[in-house]
Chain A
Amino acid sequence: MRMLRKTALLSLLFVVSVLSAAITLPRLAASSSTTYTYAFDDDYDYVQTQDAYLPGQTITNLGLDSPSDVVVTNDGTLVIADSGNARVLVFDPVTGQIDLTITLDATDDHPAMLNPTGVFVCRDASAYVDEGDIYVADPAAQRVFRFDAAGILVQSFGKPDAIMYETLAFEPEKVAVDKAGILYVVSKGSSDGIVQLSNTGAFLGFFSSNKVNLTLRQQFQQLIYTQEQLDNLNINLTPPVFTSVFIDDGGIVYSSSSGLRVENIKKHTTQGTNMLAEMYISSAKLVDITVDDAGIMYTADQSGWIDVYTNDGDFVFTFGSYLDAGIAGIFKSLAAIAVDAEGSIWTIDAENSYLQSFVPTEYASTIYRAITLYDETRYDEAVDLWKSVLRLNQMSMLAHNGIAKNYLQLEDYELAAEHFKIAGNRALYSEAFWELRNVWLQANLLPLLGVAFLLGVAALAVRLADRRTKFLAPVRALGARIGERKVLADVLYAKRVATRPADSFYYLKKKLHGSYLGAFLILILTFGCYLLFTAGKGFIFQQTDLEDMDLSSIILGFVAIIGLFVLCSYLVTSIQDGEGTLGEIFKGVAYSMYPFILACLVSTLVSYVATTNELFLLNVIFAVGLAWTLLLVFISISEIQNYTFGQTVKSVLITVLFVVVILLVLAFVQMTIRQLFTFLIEIVKEAVRHVLG
Chain B
Amino acid sequence: MSLVKKIFVVVVLFLAIAPVAVHAAWVSTGRDTQENPDTLTDIPEQDFDTGGYATLHENARFVYRWQEDRDVLVITDKRNGYTWKTGLDIDPNRTKTEQNSACRDARNDYNDDLIDFATFEDLCEIPVDSLTAIVPTGPLIANSLLYFDYYNKGASDAVYSTYTVYSSYLKLTLYDVTSTLQNIDSDPTRWRFTFETTALGVDRDLTMTIVADLDLTTDGFEIDIVEDLLAGSCLPYLAKIGVAPFMGAVGGVRTIYTAYPKDGLEEGYYEDESNIQADMIGGYAFVPDGSGALIRFRDNTVPLSAFTATVYGDDPSQSYQNYRTALGTYVPFKTASIPVFGVAHGNDQAAFVAYATSGAEYMQVVSMPEENGTFYNYTFAEFKYNYKYNRIYTLDGDNPVPSIGDELNAFDAVLRYDFLAGDGSVDGLPANYVGMALKYKEHLLETGELTPSDAASESIGIRIDFLMADSEDSIVGYQTRVATGVGAVRDILSDIIGGGITNVSSGLIGWQAKGVTLGDPSRAVFSAGIGTKAAFSDLVGDFAEQGVDVSLYQDYYTINEEQISLYRNAAKHPAGWYGRLLSYEEPIDTFYYARPVRSAEWLMRQAKTFLAMGVLSLTVDGMTDRLVTDFTGEGTSRTEAIALYRDAFGTLSADILLNLTKPNAYLFRYADRYLQMDVYTTQYLIETDTVPFLQIVLQGTMELYAIYSNFSFYTTKDVLRMIDYNVWPSFVLTDEPSYLFSDTNSSDYYSTEYELYKETIAAIYADVNAALSPVIGTTWTDRDVLAAGVIRNTYADGTQILVNYTDRTYDYGTGVIAPESFVVLGGD
Which residues of A approach B to under 8 Å, CB–CB?
Answer: 9, 12-13, 16-17, 19-36, 41-42, 47-51, 54-58, 60-65, 93-94, 320-330, 342-344, 352-354, 359-366, 391-396, 422, 535, 545-549, 551, 678, 681-682, 685-686, 689
Encoded as 1 (CB less than 8 Å from any A CB) or 0, chain B from 484 to 496 comes to 0000000000000
Q: Known contacts A32-B31, A327-B330: does B325 contact A12 (CB below 8 Å)?
A: yes
A354 in complex: contacting residue of B298, B302, B395, B472, CB < 8 Å: B302
Shortest beta-carbon distance from A647 to chain B in Å: 43
Alpha-carbon distance A548/B682, docked complex (angstroms)? 37
What are 18 A-B contacts with C-beta separation under 8 Å?
A21-B330, A22-B313, A29-B707, A50-B750, A55-B683, A56-B29, A320-B329, A325-B684, A326-B304, A327-B333, A391-B751, A392-B751, A393-B750, A393-B751, A394-B752, A394-B753, A678-B396, A681-B394
Query: In the assembled complex, which residues on chain A have CB atoms less than 8 Å from the CB atom of B476?
Result: 551
A549–B473 alpha-carbon span in the complex (Å): 9
Given contacts A22-B313, A26-B621, A50-B751, contact A58 B685 (CB under 8 A): yes
Name the residue among B321, B393, B678 with the largest chain A CB count within 10 angstroms.
B393
Chain B residues contacting A324 (CB-CB under 8 Å) are: 305
Over the window 693-721 of chain B, the binary record of Cβ atoms lying under 8 Å from chain A Cβ atoms (1 yes, 0 no) is 00000000000000110011101001000
Tell me if B27 and A94 are in contact (CB < 8 A): yes
Using Cβ atoms and an 8 Å threshold, which residues of chain B touch A326? Answer: 304-306, 684-686
Secondary structure of the B contact surface, majority rule: loop
Q: Beyond A22-B333, A23-B332: 16 further Cβ-contacts under 8 Å? A: A12-B325, A19-B314, A23-B324, A26-B558, A26-B621, A36-B331, A41-B742, A48-B328, A56-B29, A58-B29, A326-B306, A327-B333, A395-B751, A545-B743, A682-B394, A689-B393
How far does the Cβ of A45 sit from chain B's closest Cβ, in whole Å?
9
- CB proximity to A under 8 Å, residues B715-744: 715, 718, 737-739, 742-743
Closest to A17 in B: B320
Query: Which chain B residues border A41 with CB–CB below 8 Å?
Result: 742, 747
Q: Which residue of A lies closest to B371 (CB)?
A: A60
Give chain A's interface secondary structure class.
Answer: loop
Chain B residues within an 8 Å CB radius of A685? 393-395
Q: Inside 8 A of A93's CB, which chain B residues have their CB?
A: 27
Please name all residues of chain B whose beta carbon is closer than 8 Å to the beta carbon of A325 when the two chains form the complex: 305, 684
- Select the residue from A30, A55, A422 with max chain B CB neighbours within 10 A: A30
A16 to B583, CA, bound (A): 13
Q: Considering the chains assembled together, what is the distance between the CA atoms of A326 and B331 in angstroms?
A: 14
Whole-angstrom distance between the alpha carbons of A41 and B748 in the complex?
12
Q: B522 at interface (Cβ–Cβ under 8 A)? A: no
Q: Is the CB of A30 within 8 A of B302?
A: no
- Is the Cβ of B331 less than 8 Å from the Cβ of A30? yes
- What per-residue 1/0 map shows which CB atoms of B286-318 lie under 8 Å from chain A? 000000000000101110111000100110100
* Contacting residues, chain B, for A686 (C-beta < 8 A): 393
User: Least Cβ distance of B207 to chain A in Å?
Assistant: 24
List residues of chain B with CB within 8 A of the CB of A65. 302
The docked-state distance in angstroms from the alpha carbon of A545 to that of B473 is 10
Contact across chains for B329 and A24 when beta carbons are under 8 A apart: no
Give the nearest-CB partner of B23 in chain A: A342
Q: Which of B472, B585, B678, B708 contacts A28 (CB 8 A)?
A: B708
Task: Collect the chain A residues with CB atoms within 8 Å of residue B713's CB.
Answer: 31
- Taking CB atoms, residues of chain B closer than 8 Å to A23 are 313-314, 316, 324, 332, 581, 626
CB-contact partner of B475 in A329, A343, A551, under 8 A: A551
CA A28 to CA B18, docked complex, whole Å: 21
Structural contact, B555 and A26, CB atoms closer than 8 A: yes
| Residues A360 and B21 in contact in the complex (CB < 8 Å), given A56-B29, A326-B686 | yes
How long is the Cα–Cα vector from A16 to B301 in the complex, in angstroms? 28
CB neighbours (8 Å) of A17 from chain B are 320-321
B591 lies within 8 A of chain A by Cβ: yes
| Assembly CA distance A195 to B126 (angstroms) | 59
Report the minimal beta-carbon distance from A340 to chain B, rounded to whole angstroms: 8
Which of B327, B473, B753 lies at the interface centre, i.e. has the most chain A CB atoms within 10 A of its CB? B327
Tell me if A54 and B622 are in contact (CB < 8 A): no
A63 touches B30 (CB 8 A): no
Instruction: Give B767 Cβ to nearest chain A Cβ, in Å.
Output: 17
Give A94's nearest chain B residue, CB to CB.
Answer: B25
Closest to A393 in B: B750
Partner of B333, one of A21, A342, A395: A21
A365 touches B329 (CB 8 A): no
Quick one: which of A16, A63, A328, A393 contacts B685, CB cutoff 8 A?
A328
- Please, which residues of chain B bring their CB within 8 A of the CB of A36? 328-331
Cα–Cα, bound, A391→B756 (Å): 6
| Contact B742–A42 (Cβ < 8 Å) | yes
Check A330 against B330 for contact (C-beta < 8 Å): yes
Does B24 have its Cβ within 8 Å of any Cβ on chain A?
yes
Given contacts A325-B305, A342-B24, contact A547 B330 (CB under 8 A): no
A32 vs B104: C-alpha distance when bound (angstroms): 57
B265 at the binding interface (Cβ < 8 Å): no
Are the C-beta atoms of B331 and A62 separated by less than 8 Å?
A: no
Which residues on B are within 8 Å of A, measured CB to CB? Answer: 18-25, 27, 29-31, 298, 300-302, 304-306, 310, 313-314, 316, 319-321, 324-333, 335, 393-396, 472-476, 479, 555, 557-558, 581, 583-585, 591, 621-622, 626, 676, 678, 680, 682-686, 707-708, 711-713, 715, 718, 737-739, 742-743, 747-753, 756
Nearest 10 pairs of A and B residues by beta carbon: A326-B305, A365-B21, A63-B301, A321-B329, A547-B473, A51-B712, A24-B326, A321-B330, A22-B314, A353-B302
Residue of A nearest to B747 (CB): A47
Given contacts A94-B25, A359-B24, contact A678 B304 (CB under 8 A): no
- Do A25 and B331 have beta carbons less than 8 Å apart? no
When distances are taken between beta carbons in the complex, the residues of chain A under 8 Å from B622 are 26
Return the contact of B300 from the options A26, A61, A551 (Cβ within 8 A).
A61
Chain B residues positioned under 8 Å from A60 (CB to CB):
300-302, 304, 685
Return B629 CB to nearest CB of chain A, in Å.
13
Query: Which residue of chain B lies nearest to A65 when distances are taken between CB atoms in the complex?
Result: B302
Check A352–B330 contact: CB distance below 8 A: no
- B394, B707, B711: the one within 8 Å of A50 (CB): B711
User: Are B739 and A9 in touch, CB under 8 angstroms?
Assistant: no
In Å, the complex CA distance between A60 and B588 comes to 41
| Cross-chain contact B30 with A328 (CB below 8 angstroms) | yes
Task: List residues of chain B with CB within 8 A of the CB of A360.
Answer: 21-22
Choose among B314, B329, B331, B557 the residue that contacts A13 (Cβ–Cβ < 8 A): B329
- Chain A min CB distance to B309 (Å): 8
Chain B residue nearest in CB terms to A343: B21
With a CB–CB cut-off of 8 A, which chain A residues contact B584? 9
Contact of A16 among B25, B325, B331, B335 (CB under 8 A): B325
- Identify B20's interface contact among A25, A27, A31, A362, CB under 8 A: A362
- Whether the pair A395, B685 counts as a contact (CB closer than 8 A) is no
State the CA gap A29–B708 with chains docked (Å).
8
Measured between beta carbons, the chain B residues less than 8 angstroms from A327 are 330, 333, 682-685
Task: Evaluate contact between A35 and B329: CB separation under 8 angstroms.
Answer: yes
The one of A12, A342, A361 that contacts B712, using a Cβ cutoff of 8 Å:
A361
| Chain B, residue nearest A332 (CB) | B305
- Residue in chain A with minimal CB distance to B306: A326
- Whether the Cβ atoms of B707 and A31 lie closer than 8 Å is yes
Residues of B within 8 A of A34 (CB): 330-331, 682-683
CA distance A353 to B751 in the complex (A): 37
Partner of A64, one of B302, B331, B395, B683: B302
Residue from A20, A342, A682 whose CB has the most chain B CB atoms within 10 Å: A20
B305 closest partner in A (C-beta)? A326
A655 and B476 CA atoms in complex are apart in Å by 34
**Nearest-Cβ distance from residue A532 to partner chain B, whole angstroms:** 12
Residue in B23, B331, B473, B707 with the greatest tally of chain A CB atoms within 10 Å: B331
With A25-B585, A391-B751, A548-B473 given, is the CB distance from A20 to B324 under 8 Å?
yes
Q: In the complex, what distance in Å separates the CA atom of A276 from the CA atom of B475?
A: 38
**Distance to closest chain B CB from A25 (angstroms):** 5
Determine the chain A residues whose CB is within 8 A of the CB of B711 once the complex forms: 28-31, 50-51
Most buried by A among B325, B676, B753: B325
